[in-house]
Amino acid sequence: MHKLDQEILAWIAEHSDSNALKSQIASAEVIKRDYMRTGYFIYFNVPADAEPLEKSLRPVSPDILSPELLDGAGTTLFLRDGRIHYLEIYARGGFFPEALEACELVAPV
């Protein structure tokens, strides 16, 4: 897993009250990572015996601030069938570099 992916998932876990989500994030393995020039889609696999997430759970995902980004970036963790499914990282208004050198994760506005 890339450093930025790890930092985003750690931020999400720190800002969640769900122990099941924290556990799934800790055990998640990346199975696919697609770069789209405007961001990434990172797909996960979690162990079959992982505690399922509540259907009402809506994880809070951070925004990304960086001088390398025109208007910053956003992130969203998507869930499917009680499991984390994929993380989307997306630039707002432009290009997202393949390797972001300096950034700060902040609460979404």
Amino acid identity, position 22: K
pLDDT tens, the chain, 109 aa long = 789 999 999 999 999 999 999 999 999 999 999 999 999 999 999 999 999 999 999 999 999 999 999 999 999 999 999 999 999 999 998 899 999 889 999 999 8
Termini Cα distance of the chain? 27
Q: Please spell the DSSP secondary structure of 13-59, one letter per residue.
A: HHT---HHHHHHHHH-EEEEEEE-SSEEEEEEE--TTSPPPPTT---
What the block records as the tokens of 26 is: 């800790």
- Cβ 28 vs Cβ 44: under 8 Å: yes
Dihedral Cα 74, 11, 54, 50, nearest 10 deg: 120
Q: What are the domain boundaries of the chain?
A: 3-106
If 0-12 CB within 10 Å is exposed, 13-18 middle and 19+ buried, where does residue 66 land? Answer: middle
Residue 94: per-residue pLDDT: 86
Residue 96: per-residue pLDDT: 95
